[in-house]
Amino acid sequence: MGKRLYVLSSGRLRRHQNTLVLETDEGKRFFPVEQVEEIHVFGEVDLNKRLLGFLTQQHIPVHFYGYNGYYIGTYYPREHYNSGYMILRQAEHYLDEAKRLDLAKRFVDGALFNLGKVIRYYRNRGKPLEEVEEALTDQRGRVQTVGEVAALMQVEGKAREVYYGAFDAILGKPDFSFGVRSRRPPQNRMNALISFGNTLLYTAVLSQIYRTHLDPRIGFLHATNFRRFTLNLDVAEIFKPILVDRLIFRLVARGQIQARDFAEEMGGLYLNERGRRVFLEAWESQLETTFYHRGLKRKVSYRRALRLELYKLEKHLMGEKPYTPFRARW
């Protein structure tokens, strides 16, 4: 899967010279380190300090997930791009209520625009979504009227509630009926897919932040508190409709993900190993899909789009150019 190493089986991960070696019951697999940009560990994998030191030298973050696909945490190697100047600018924009609210509104406006874009896409294909589209337009109109971040998050929450209400009409698949949003644990298959996809997006953005001057601990829409990372959550809101939700619709509509790809555990439903493999393969393909970027006047991948979003944010924080969120142009 390109420069992302996904480890789904249990085993041992070690270093041999300039190569990563994954040892499982199926045998050994070798990955030249220059071909690996990040590692995602889903299985029970043994590793040691020597390996972590090697990964730090190579600037390779490692994301860990539980057996049910929940994000556990990240081995975030020593930052090599972080700058004191940028951290100060992030802190300044967070501590200044007006500057923080301005940035938070930009994130939410971008997210709601892309929610509406998804709804319009399916409405144009005959789905009865006129009322949903109107309701989203109304919620987006409220973004600029609120005076605090807490109220802004309520607007976004209401918009997503309306948006999720359209999923059954879009898919028409009884095995994947939505119901209501449930997270820990997800109570049905659709909620399991959304939670898994969102988790992958959070770590994808986090990996891109690592390669910028930004500090992932200082977000603006999501409160900077005792959670380690929040900036990746902010940026992910913009891309969820485009990268996660549309991928889910394709996988379900084409029968690539089916009811048999889930298991009931600890009061919830989760993707089983086969389901995770199918989703991960499609996810990697999704991130590598290219589109025409109007600003750059050339094609870029969606993974590159995540990085470009962060560069725009850097320019905003430095006062060079106001941040404008990514908007889907289909």
Q: Give pLDDT tens digits for 154-164.
A: 999 999 999 99
Average pLDDT, the chain: 92
Q: Which residues pair with 29 in a beta bridge?
A: 22
pTM of the model: 0.92
Q: Give pLDDT tens digits for 300-314.
A: 999 999 999 999 999
Q: How far is CA 190 from the centre of its chain?
A: 17
- Residue 2: band (very low, low, confident or very high) from pLDDT cuts 50, 70, 90: low
Q: How far is CA 58 from CA 18, 51, 79, 204, 206, in A?
A: 10, 11, 11, 18, 17
DSSP labels, 165-180:
TTHHHHH--GGG---S
Determine the residue type at 18. Answer: N
Q: What whole-number distance in Å separates Cα of residue 273 and Cα of residue 292?
A: 34
Q: How far is CA 317 from CA 99, 155, 214, 224, in A?
A: 10, 25, 10, 16
In sequence order, what are the residues at sequence separation of 6 or more whose Cβ sits closer than 8 angstroms to the Cβ of residue 234? 104, 107, 219, 220, 221, 222
**Would you say 86 and 215 are in contact if contact means Cβ atoms under 8 Å apart?**
yes
Q: How far is CA 119 from CA 256, 259, 283, in A?
A: 22, 25, 21
Q: Is the pLDDT of residue 3 over 90?
A: no
| Least confident piece of the model among 75-84, 148-157, 168-177, 260-269 | 75-84
Handedness of CA 177, 179, 181, 186 (dihedral sign): negative
Residue 312 parent element (H or E): helix 302-317
| Least confident piece of the model among 172-176, 179-183, 186-190 | 179-183
Query: Can you give the pLDDT at residue 1?
Result: 46
**Would you say 145 and 155 are in contact if contact means Cβ atoms under 8 Å apart?**
no
Q: Report helix, strand and coil shares of the chain as percent, to nearest 5.
A: 50, 15, 30
